Every structure is written in C-alpha cells, then in structure tokens.
Amino acid sequence: MPQLAENKSKTTTIDQASAKAKRNLDARPMMGNEAIARGVWEAGVRVAAAYPGTPSTEIMENLGKYPAEDLHAEWSTNEKVALDVAIGGSFAGVRSFTSMKHVGLNVASDSLMSQTYIGVNGALVLVVCDDPGIHSSQNEQDSRIFGQLAMVPVLEPTDAQEALDYTKLAFDISEQFDTPVIVRSTTRLSHTRSLVKTGPRKEVPCKGFLEQPTKNVMIPGHARVRHGALLERERLLKEYLEDSELNRWEEGSDEVGIVTLSTAYTYVKEMMPDASVLKLGTSYPLPEAKIREFYASVKRVIVVEELEPIIENQLKVLGLEVEGKSLFPREGEFSTEVVQEGFANAGLLPPIPKLELIDIQPMARPPLLCAGCPHTTAYMALRALNSRVSGDIGCYTLAAVEPLKAIDTSVAMGSSIGNAAGIAMAGTETRPIVATIGDSTFLHAGIPPLINAVYNNANITVLLLDNHITAMTGGQHHPGTGKNLRGEVAPKVDYEALIKSIGVKWFRKIDSYNMGSVFQSLREATLYKGVAVVILDRPCVLDPVKLKGPAFQVKSESCTGCQACMNLGCPAISWSDELYEGHHKVQIDEAACIGCSLCAQVGSTNCIQPVETEH
C-alpha cells in the first residue's frame, strides 16, 4: 500500500488551496480554440467564415454560439471561399476573421498572396492551426513559412490566455499596419484547456467601403507600387515589435540564452526554469535590436522552436551565431521529453537517465469506421471488384487499412477525381478506376475536377459517399445538409441536378445499406465508358443525430465461424468464446449495434438475425 499522508499535511494543503482559490476564481478553463473564438468576439468582429478541419474546427463552432446580432458566422464551402468572404468583410469596413487547419491555408493561399498587397480596410485576421505530430492530417507542414512568403506578421500564442489576447491584438495590428495578420496555433494549444480571464466585447464602428482602386484592384501597374509598400510595412512592423509586449525577456543565468515561443516555451520553462529566456510573440518579423541586446547579455544562444527553423534561419541572416536544429528535431511534436533531450545534447542538462519502465507490449487499437457506418459497403464492393481506388480526405480514409483495405491513394481535399482521371489518361491501368469522395469534400474541391473529367472524357467511376454531414471533424453542416452553422434551414444542393448539368451521362443513386445494389451498380458503372457517377446515400450514424435501430444478434447454433461479417471491420462484432471446427464464432454487442443489417447481408449462413423483441 502506498504511504499515507498525515492528516496534518492534508489540512495545510487545503488551506493553501483556499488561499489560492481567490486568485484564480475569476478565470475559467477554456480550450485554446474556445479562447481564440472569445478573442474574436471581444475584438468586435462582424464577419467570420471557415471550413472545418482538425484541429481548428472548434473556433468557428464556438463563434456560432455568440449572438447573430454581434457577428455573421458561417461554414463556407472551402478555406479559400472563407478567406474571400472575410476579405469582403474587410473591404466593407468591418473587422473580419477566418480560421483553418494548416493545409486549409494552402487552399486559401491564392487569395492571401494578393490580399497582402491590398492590405485591409476593416481588420483581417487568419487563425491557422498546424498539426505537429500529425494527429489528424495528411502532412506536418510548418505554415509559419507562409508568413514570410506573404510578408504577413505571424503571432504565436503559448496558452489559452495568450490565444485570446494575441487574437484580439492581431486585429489592432492589422488595422494599424494595413496588413492581414496570421495567428498560428498548434494542435497542442488548440486542444489544451487552461485558465482564461475574459473581457467585454469592443464595438468597432464600420468604416464603410473605401473607393481606392489603386489599392483594391490588383492589376500589374497597381501591384508594382504595392510591393514597395509591403517592404515599408515590414520595416514598420519590426520597429513596432521592438517595444511590444508580445516579446518578453525573462532574465536568468548568463551562461545560455534561450529564444523560444508558442508551446515550446512551456517545455523550456519546465526543463530550464532558471535560464535566461527571450519569449517571442512573433516568428516573423523579428525585433532585431531586442534580439541583439539579448545576445549581448548571454554567452550562448539556443533557439527552441517546433518543426522548421524559421527563427533560427532569420537569426543566421542577421549574422548571429545560433544553435537550434542541431540539437532539436525538425519533425514531430515537441514535449518536455524532446526538449529535455535537446538540452542534454547541448550539454546543459545531464543525459536522461534510463527509467525502469513497465514492459508491456500494447495492443493496437487503430481508429475505426463506426458500427453501421454507411461508407463500409462502398469499400466492400470496391475490394470485391478489384478496383484501383483513389481516395480522398474524410472518415473513409480509414478504409485504407485492414480489413477493408480498398484505397490505393489519398492526397488532398478533392484530389481523388483528378487523380483517377490522370490514372485513366495514362492508359496503363487494367483494373476499373474509381474515385471515392465524401459529400463535404466534393463540395469543397470535387466539383471542378468532376467537370474536368467529363470535359476530357476520362474513363472513371466517381463514387460520391453522401452521408449528409462533414463527419470526420465531428459533424458540421455544409451546403448539402440543408442547414447552416447556426442550425437554421438553408438551401440544399441537389447533387443529381448538379451532376446532370455538368454533363455526366451515367448516373445512379443507391441506398448504402443495400449491399446487392451497391455491388451491381458499381459493376455497371465501371463497365461504362466515360464518367459514371454513383451516389451512395445514407446519413452518418453519429451526426447530426446519433442513430440507433433495433440490434442484430448471432444465433450461435447456426454460426459456422466463417467470419465473413468480420470483413466489415464493424466494432460491434467480435469473437465469442465458442469455436466451430477450430474457428471462432462471432457475437454482436447489442449496445453498439445500430441495426444496419450489413453483417446479415454478407454472412454465409442465416445466423445473424434481428434481436427478438417482446410483443
């Protein structure tokens, strides 16, 4: 048994706690994304638009909870559209906002690269959430590089309080320096709750539309002039940052000085509490004079930053001697352990002692498609048809692994259709070529490539997996759901009419839960020469409402242990304790089963039956 604490010491702890209670009670735990949304609202924003994407989704979800009289908040069809809507708000003279995940900025970057020349009328702020460690993304890009490319300042908060404060400040900087501003978050910041003190909303009067064509209309003659203005803006921003509260110098020992920012700062403080630290608020531009002053106060300077050496390289350009990525990794998410190892590499901390850790081989538990997921049928059929499948971004990417294992490629939002067309144009593939794309992804970036495939007569089948929601990010509405961000009724895209107008000649809509029809339709579609479109239609089992129908059960006496049902990868089906000729019989978890009947449809005997209910 563990050592018991004396009751005395307990009392002391409680007393200390009640003393501290007075200190923190005016704050409350908020997720980073919640705090960003609060900052946006407090800054007096009137127009906010976004497309969902982990880890940024909760920002717009939270904004949708603030009164509609305060701000217009919307789910847009993609990140570029969202940024364009926010730019429109800025043109109109009100504070405007958009948020996105890192790869969303790639989509929106076209507009950003021009808008940075135009500047702002009403303030314009973009929150970009990177995903170091690739918790839920297709790459690990460091979006901070976009700051330098667009010559737009990049603010990097450390915790939820800073997330709120920096977001608010970003709007002031935007107006003061006539520039869009990026606030950069990471998964760890966006999804960590820490204490936040909130403030009131600042009502910002609308400036009205400013008619200034040389600034608002980017034709070559105007743009050449504006490029010079950008360089001047960069100089002014550097000057501003020299005295800004965004940068904090925490004096310590002169042996080593650490330049850090974002969540990396917290790991530095954890491991080197007494070091001299220059905590920056921006990764671009940098306060040069302040950095030189910091350099003069210490014998050695180390930069601790996650992913790319953005600050390190800028310091090198200034001719400063610096260590960074020689000690710390350029890939993966930082943690206390990673930073500790970096400092050990630098000889500043003793080598990490080998902990005697408990030696257990953990069981793999990969994420799964849900019990009753309508995507399952599509991939069962595609697997059986031995198709070459270009996948897309969504829950269905989970069908890339066993047991469905039916996706050959997955690149970026909307890529599936173009990729499939290209495979077809190469003329070398002997298997049927199929693109699979979800409804939300189709509306995001799937329509132009479908038009292109029809226009260029690609011999492909497009499988539109319509589950009536943006599922992977937790169930957000889109133009195909008939509702908007605030849950109000909205116009609904008619996919059949849309596809028809594009010029698709072979088209069919099928119930995802009808396995026979899905097989048959896909076979016919893949035999068709040209673009064939199959829409598989069934709502997601989780969102917008969690579905639960009468469950199925396994009649053990007729189960032959064929396990054909387990090919679905359904989390409600597992082995029972019984064997049939050496093979495990199966069982269904009635609480998890939603009654989709797919297992009964694929089984080789009739052992799977609806649970008998009392009449």
Q: Is residue 450 within a helix (H) or strand (E), and if so which, with residue range?
A: helix 447-455
C-beta of 72 vs 538, nearer to another protein: 538
Question: Nearest distance from residue 402's CB to another protein, in Å?
Answer: 7
Our CA angle for 609, 611, 614, nearest 5°, is 135
C-beta of 126 vs 404, nearer to another protein: 404
Question: Nearest distance from residue 43's CB to another protein, in Å?
Answer: 25
CA distances to 128, 136, 280 from 334, rounded to whole Å, are: 18, 16, 17
Contacts 24+ apart (CB under 8 A), 590-594: 590/551, 590/553, 591/551, 592/371, 593/371, 593/372, 593/551, 593/552, 594/371, 594/372, 594/541, 594/547, 594/548, 594/549, 594/551
Question: Nearest distance from residue 55's CB to another protein, in Å?
Answer: 7
Give the span between the Cα atoms of 293 and 288, in whole angstroms: 9
Question: Nearest distance from residue 283's CB to another protein, in Å?
Answer: 20
C-beta of 120 vs 398, nearer to another protein: 398
C-beta of 13 vs 176, nearer to another protein: 13
Question: Nearest distance from residue 429's CB to another protein, in Å?
Answer: 17
- Amino acid, res. 400: A
- Taking the alpha carbons at both ends of the chain, their separation in whole angstroms is 54
C-beta of 296 vs 355, nearer to another protein: 355
Question: Nearest distance from residue 548's CB to another protein, in Å?
Answer: 13
How many residues does this entry show for the chain?
615
C-beta of 329 vs 503, nearer to another protein: 329
C-beta of 231 vs 357, nearer to another protein: 357
Pair 381, 519: CB distance under 8 Å: yes
C-beta of 194 vs 481, nearer to another protein: 194
Q: How many CB atoms lie within 10 A of CB 411?
A: 14
**Dihedral, 472, 476, 479, 485 alpha carbons, nearest 10:** -160
Q: Is residue 267 within a helix (H) or strand (E), and if so which, with residue range?
A: helix 264-271
Question: Nearest distance from residue 576's CB to another protein, in Å?
Answer: 10
Question: Nearest distance from residue 422's CB to another protein, in Å?
Answer: 26
Question: Nearest distance from residue 397's CB to another protein, in Å?
Answer: 11
Question: Nearest distance from residue 594's CB to another protein, in Å?
Answer: 13
Give the span between the Cα atoms of 250 and 323, in whole angstroms: 19
C-beta of 11 vs 456, nearer to another protein: 11
Instruction: Show the DSSP H helices in 272-333 as ranges.
Output: 288-297, 310-317
- Amino acid, res. 286: L
C-beta of 210 vs 579, nearer to another protein: 579
- Conformational region of residue 138, where left means phi above 0, alpha means psi within -120 to 50, and beta covers everything else: alpha
Phi (first) and psi of residue 282, to 5 degrees: -130, 150
C-beta of 369 vs 596, nearer to another protein: 369
Nearest residue to 49 (alpha-carbon basis) of 137, 149, 157, 124: 124
Question: Nearest distance from residue 144's CB to another protein, in Å?
Answer: 20
Our CA angle for 22, 26, 31, nearest 5°, is 125
